[in-house]
Structure 1
Amino acid sequence: MLYYLFEYLDKTLNIPGTGVFQYITFRSGLAIMLSLILSTVFGKKIINFLRRQQVGETVRELGLAGQNEKAGTPTMGGLIIIFATLIPVFLLTKLNNIYIILLIVTTLWMGTIGFIDDYIKIFKKDKQGLKGIFKVIGQVGLGLIVGSVLYLHPGVTIRKDMPKLISLRQTENVFSQTPLDEKSTATTIPFLKNNEFDYASVLKWIGDDYENWAWVIFIPIVIFIITAVSNGANLTDGIDGLAAGTSAISVIALGIFTFVSGNIIFSSYLNIMYIPNSGEMTVFIAAFVGALIGFLWYNSYPAAVFMGDTGSLTIGGIIAVLAIAVRKEMLIPLLCGIFLVENMSVVLQVSYFKFTKKRYGEGRRIFLMSPLHHHFQKKGYHESKIVTRFWIVGILLAILSIVTLKLR
């Protein structure tokens, strides 16, 4: 909203200084500051409101040190993240940008699913929450919407084979020398020199019109990624500050990707795919990072509030959509390595338990407890130490992911 106001002041009334709102970097800086202020200042009010509504966490008997002390801690804190993200987004972004629209829809969609799950757990006293099948239906529904829009919308394009720039003055020439923006289902494969892969190429065997059927591959992949990443974030939310901290690290890396991919100069210099209008997502990311860090003010050990599924499912959904939109979804196993390991620890634990029970008549375990962070708790590590070390690993993975821009 403010963006359009200042655009009017600049172009119509020609007021000096108002043109600064045209710069993504300026609006991103404002977004992160505003979201930090909102999440820290108003976060306390939201926590007090949740406490008055008796929105307290029910703790299961897991035999973990310090677990019982967390009983009654307010949950649904993901509302803080959603609130502190969307207000700067509505104020500072171009609301007609298709990527921003998709991210707003993702935030509200996944936030609603998580909210319903938390509501059932707290007010209906059902520890299972929303049935798994309904969660999956919601995730698949979002994946169908995101995949269809990215595939069909005329504003979602790429520009390949960018010429290298010699100086900033040649920017105008670059626009005239490059081909027109094109619809494509191409993505980026990390660590390879010729690192672009088109999902449509899988269907070449069906004939000359194979590109018209690319949606058969692309949309299911989008559905799978959104479902997997949102569930991974959900499993990672188990101890104070873990999910919010690791997510903030991953999102900062995605912010770098969106900024360089949406900037014709940087994408040309780095010889990467230029994605017109994708740079606007940097403003959303800045607001999101500010909200996550502000949430950590209250969620760090000992937590005054838990994000609940309202927050964790939303975080996972946003990260997945960001990665897909900037054509970096193949980096997710590396960039979101913490989510992947947490997810796999549960899959391996359950699968091995069932296998050994069937074969030996007695279920055996690989880990002392899953997800993985509980395994280290069982080994006697304090949760703040576990969280800090997971953050360090997350930083290393984020740096390695960023390095893939040139390491090929």
Structure 2
Amino acid sequence: MLYWLLYQKLFPYFHPFRIFQYLTFRTAFSSLTALLIALIIGPYVIEKLRQFQISQYIRDEGPESHKKKSGTPTMGGVLIAIAILLPTVLWSNPSNPFVWVVVFSTIGFGAIGFADDYIKVVKRRNLGLTARAKMFWQVIVSLMIAITLVGLQQFRIFSTKMTVPFVKNFHPDLVWPWLGSIPHLGFLMFLPFVIFVTLVLVFSSNAVNLTDGLDGLAIGCTIIAAGALTVLTYVSGHVVFADYLELQRMPKVGELTVFCGAMVGASIGFLWYNAHPAEVFMGDVGSLALGGAIATVAVIIRQELLLPFIGGIFVLEAISVILQVGSYKLRGGKRIFKMAPLHHHFELLGWKESKVIARFWIAALVFALFALTTLKLR
């Protein structure tokens, strides 16, 4: 909005406003704006959550050390969403369609998490939406995003070709071109892409949700993942860097750097209140929104295959749950880990919560740095 008002409308009359054309300037101020919003309204949001008695329910089978967290305000993800979306609208170019795709993703997945958290609060139990209901709505939101991207592909501002790490000239296209020549079935040629994107978005949103179990763990890993995405998004939309690194260049995706910067700033601001011992938890409204946003950005810049490294801890946490459930069902009740997700396993091994968090952050940073090295190792 500020870009549209100050640069596109007022720049001809006041030339210093040309600074708003620079993506780096708007990204930096988007991040700072998000940080300030989170820090300033954080105490107000936390107090309102306390007044409405929106507090965390701790399950009985969880680690004993977590029982003291019962009663801590939850649904702090509302604060994160506000701190991300307002700077994005203020500092990005409103005519860019990709900006609105990620805004929709954040709101859509956040709304699912909000409904889940709200039901938990009303019913005073650790079960909100049923697993089927939550999965259904996640799939619906993901399908809407995937179909929108297919529509943008028709205008040649988006590509369904994937970027493969470590490989320069191999860009598999997730379409069935032979269906394009069949009358009335041409739209089915994009079915592989739609299915793939849906799976990526649903997995990512749930992976962040599973990681949100210790004070500051999920939001700290989000800061690192969002920082890596900020770099990847910027170089993907920059003509010189994209050509030098031999990436698919999509000029309009560069505007998502503003969104990623806002995500970094908002996450840092939330960490101020979520650091151990946490004053507020993000809840599903925050974790699902962040997971969906991270995956949506990765899909748009065609770096989905780097997601396992960009969000390495998220992936490990999700896989630990899948392995634990599979082992329990297929091996007659035998478990691989003492408890899943993975962070609880290390707690039960005797690691203090602060040590688990710090070491997982270090691992997340290593994963993210590895993801960035793949830009050159091609």
TM class, shorter-length? over 0.9
Question: Which of 194, 219, 239 in structure 1 is aligned with 2:214?
Answer: 239
Q: What letter is aligned with 1:341? A: L
Aligned residue number for residue 115 of structure 1: 114
Contact 1:262–1:275 at 8 Å: present in 2 too? yes
Match of 2:257 in 1: 282
> Structure 1 unaligned runs (5+)?
159-182, 358-362
What's the offset of the Cα at 1:207? 8.3
* SS of residue paired to 1:214: helix
Larger radius of gyration: 1
Identical aligned pairs, as a percentage?
Answer: 41
Alignment of 1:179-190 (within 5 A): 184-190=159-165
Size of the aligned set, in residue pairs, is: 376
* Structure 2 residues not aligned, in runs of 5+: none
Give the conservation status (yes or no) of the 8 Å contact 2:87–2:262. yes
Q: Deviations over 1:235-258 (max 9, x none)?
A: 000111111011111111111111
Give the partner amino acid of 1:25.
Answer: T
What does residue range 227-266 of structure 1 map to in structure 2 within 5 Å? 227-266=202-241
Question: Is 2:215 the counterpart of 1:216?
Answer: no
- After TM superposition, the structure 1 = structure 2 runs for residues 6-405 of structure 1, keeping only pairs within 5 Å, are 6-13=6-13, 15-62=14-61, 64-153=63-152, 157=156, 184-200=159-175, 203=176, 213-357=188-332, 363-405=333-375
| Structure 1 residues 204 and 84: CA distance shift in structure 2, 3 A | closer
Question: d(CA) in 2 for partners of 1:334 and 1:81?
Answer: 23
Letter in 2 for 1:60: R
Alignment CA distance shift 1:212-1:382 (3 Å): same
2:36 is equivalent to residue 2 of structure 1: no
> Which digits, 9 at most, give the CA deviation of each residue in 1:269-292, with x for residues without a partner?
111110121100000111111001
Partners of 1:156 and 1:316 lie apart in 2 by 27
Q: Once the two structures are superposed, what CA deviation does each residue of 1:135-161 show, in whole Å capped at 9, x if it has no partner?
A: 111111111111111111258646xxx
The 1-side partners of 2:180 and 2:272 are apart by 56
Equivalence for 1:163: none
Q: Say which is worse superposed, 293-302 or 267-276, in terms of deviation.
A: 267-276
State the Cα RMSD in Å: 1.8
Check conservation: 2:179, 2:188, Cα contact below 8 A. Answer: no
2: CA distance between counterparts of 1:211 and 1:331? Answer: 30
Instruction: Check whether the contact 2:57–2:124 (CA below 8 A) recurs between aligned residues.
Output: no
Counterpart AA for 1:395: L
What is the rounded CA distance, in whole Å, between the counterparts of 1:4 and 1:95 in structure 2?
7
Letter in 2 for 1:131: T
